[in-house]
Structure 1
Amino acid sequence: MSFVAGCGNASQNTSTQEQLPEKIIIQAPPAPPTASLLKMVNSKPFGDQVQIELILYKTVEEATARVIKGEADFTILPVNTAAKLYNKGIDISLDSVTTWGILYLLSSEDAISKWQDLKGKEVYVGAQGASPDIITRYLMKKNNVSSSDVDLKYANSPEIAQMLIQGMIKTAVLPEPMVTQVLSRNKSVRIKLDFQREWQSVEKTSGLPQAGLVVKNKFIKEYPFAWANFRKSYQQALEQTVADPNSVAALVEQKFQIPGQVFVKSMARTNLKFVSAEHARADVEHYLSKLLSFSPDMVGGKLPDEKFYLAK
């Protein structure tokens, strides 16, 4: 799924230093961080000089395949996935972190209010081996609950959301805006644990840096002016989206098939904030170090070096 904004070639009067590409390709999931990209693309930050294509990917595997092939200039990715690709030698950098935790534990069981209450319970989690699974098991361990104490079940998040709505399951881990979708359609389900607060409680860090903007280094070298203008426009769009979710609700409903008002409500629990990679580095390194100790493959077997963090 993709759409295009703008048309035509780069201006013939642009200096070499400010040379613009004919086209910029962005890929992102149909999720809250991408709402800002919808807003940005719709505003045509380069006027009609640059064609912008936004591809909405369905799976992280689909996105990583394009990154590896160099087919996307900018990509919204889980931070650990970006680190893993970098450690494999893919010529990318982390530009910024924009998603600081969107995971929650939901349940229709009144008896569940803390991690220890999950012992002996069935808990559904999306994407076995991916960050929601690893973060869930990590936080359980930090709260003295082992994976063997809980009957962990795996499915994709949309399927889990539907099962919760229909009352087929009682407890699950989900991201926003699916949390809001479930709460609005099954009144017996409640939020039991906020993963962002839980992470801050056990790790004493400022946030949970889950996803960010990754850029192809070749693009920066060839079009430094376009890169600078892109990230500035994206930051402004993200801040505007956080301040006024209604301003992008119609676009979200059209492109993501998520009801606009569900998106607006979900933003209250969606921790979006633009932080440049160099300023987010301490939190990212802490986060990746915990994933590395718990599941080395999640970050490619080692922490990325300083070149992973793009500096202005």
Structure 2
Amino acid sequence: MTFFRCLCLLLILCCCNSKPKTDGGTIRVSVLRGPSAIAFAHWMEETPVVDDKPLSVRIIDSPDLMQAALIKGEADIAVLPMISAANLYNKGIRYHLAGCPIWGTLYLVGRSDKGISGENKPVLHIFGAGTTPDILTRHYLRQHNTGYTLNYSFTTAQEIMQGLLAGKVDHAVLGEPFLSIALRKDSTLQILADLNRPDSVSSGFAQTAILYAPALKKSQKAIDSLLHLSCRFAVEQPEQAIRILEKEKIFASGMLTPESIERCKIDYRTASEAQENILRFLQLIGQYEPKALGGKMPDEKFYK
């Protein structure tokens, strides 16, 4: 892409971002800050175009803010937790499910695996009661009959990471990029378990959803193609993806490594390709926290 074209698109994006609800010049893409943003680094560097409209990527700082943006119709494409997508669907927010780009970033980390099955159950620190990290942790512990006392005193992954580095926490559940930061800063820490696989042959849990507005239904194939390309870019050129994400100040310098990206299990699959995996994941969520889905499983139209 030429410098002149980049400059023109940048000017277009700036103008459109000033009035997101009234300007139809761009397709507004809202991505939750965190691992999901890694899969969209390529879109931040080489602005894609659908139906002669550039895709403008905006980073959203929390799932609650993302849900608010969708309810208000302030996003044309959105990337958010799969349980949030199902919950919104059950509330009548009718975006289409494009597919899943991220298949798991959660790991059990600690200084030693000694005593995990012993009489004195070690404390496992986790955040977000009733959310995906909590549910997948409880599911893993039940599956493997592993004894831990769960502690929710820390409210964020960053606080847990700081507790690990300060020596106040010995066992915790962390996702990227905080996992890589902790491992790099404290060589005594190690990954004890991968919480993202329902079984040994699975690629992971369908934890992340990409939604798009009904008006983009006619462009579904083009969007799917761009999503495949963007996810492959992150996997095949992790150093370039990291450079873009740092330049855009999505992640601070040094937070991400190629290993971080590998541990995110980035692999875009369309809703039809991943339907069985998504259904299995949502059934698991419903088993532990039905309220997280809005009290029921979404019907078949959720996948269409």
- TM value normalised by structure 1: 0.83
Is the alpha carbon distance of 1:261 and 1:137 closer, same or farther for their aligned partners in structure 2, counting shifts above 3 Å?
A: closer
Distance 2:124 2:26 in 1: 44
Deviation at 1:263, TM superposition (A): 3.0
Deviation at 1:48, TM superposition (A): 12
Which residue of structure 2 lines up, in the alignment, with residue 82 of structure 1? 85
Deviation at 1:50, TM superposition (A): 2.9
Which residue of structure 2 lines up, in the alignment, with residue 305 of structure 1? 299
- Secondary structure of the equivalent of 2:124? strand
Which residue of structure 1 lines up, in the alignment, with residue 258 of structure 2? 264
Which residue of structure 1 lines up, in the alignment, with residue 184 of structure 2? 184
Which residue of structure 2 lines up, in the alignment, with residue 98 of structure 1? 101
Deviation at 1:205, TM superposition (A): 4.7
Task: Give structure 1 stretches of 5+ with no counterpart.
Answer: 10-20
Q: 1:214 aligns with which of 211, 215, 229?
A: 211
Distance 1:97 1:300 in 2: 20
Quick one: percent identity of the two aligned structures? Answer: 26
Which residue of structure 1 lines up, in the alignment, with residue 75 of structure 2? 72
Contact 1:6–1:49 under 8 Å retained in 2: no
Distance 1:291 1:127 in 2: 14
Contact 2:224–2:270 under 8 Å retained in 1: no
Distance 1:47 1:296 in 2: 37
Distance 2:208 2:146 in 1: 26
Which residue of structure 1 lines up, in the alignment, with residue 137 of structure 2? 136
Contact 2:106–2:196 under 8 Å retained in 1: yes
Amino acid at match of 2:216: I
May I ask how many residue pairs the two structures share in their alignment? 286
Deviation at 1:230, TM superposition (A): 3.1
Task: Give structure 2 stretches of 5+ with no counterpart.
Answer: 1-7, 14-23
Deviation at 1:188, TM superposition (A): 1.1
Query: RMSD across aligned C-alpha pairs, in angstroms?
Result: 2.6
Contact 2:44–2:244 under 8 Å retained in 1: no
Deviation at 1:51, TM superposition (A): 4.5
Deviation at 1:167, TM superposition (A): 1.8
Q: Does 1:240 align with 2:243?
A: no
Distance 2:107 2:26 in 1: 38
Deviation at 1:210, TM superposition (A): 0.8
Distance 2:92 2:250 in 1: 33
Deviation at 1:157, TM superposition (A): 0.8
Distance 2:212 2:91 in 1: 16
Deviation at 1:119, TM superposition (A): 5.9
Q: Deviations over 1:161-219 (max 9, x none)?
A: 1221222211110112211111000111110011124x214xx75521111211122x3
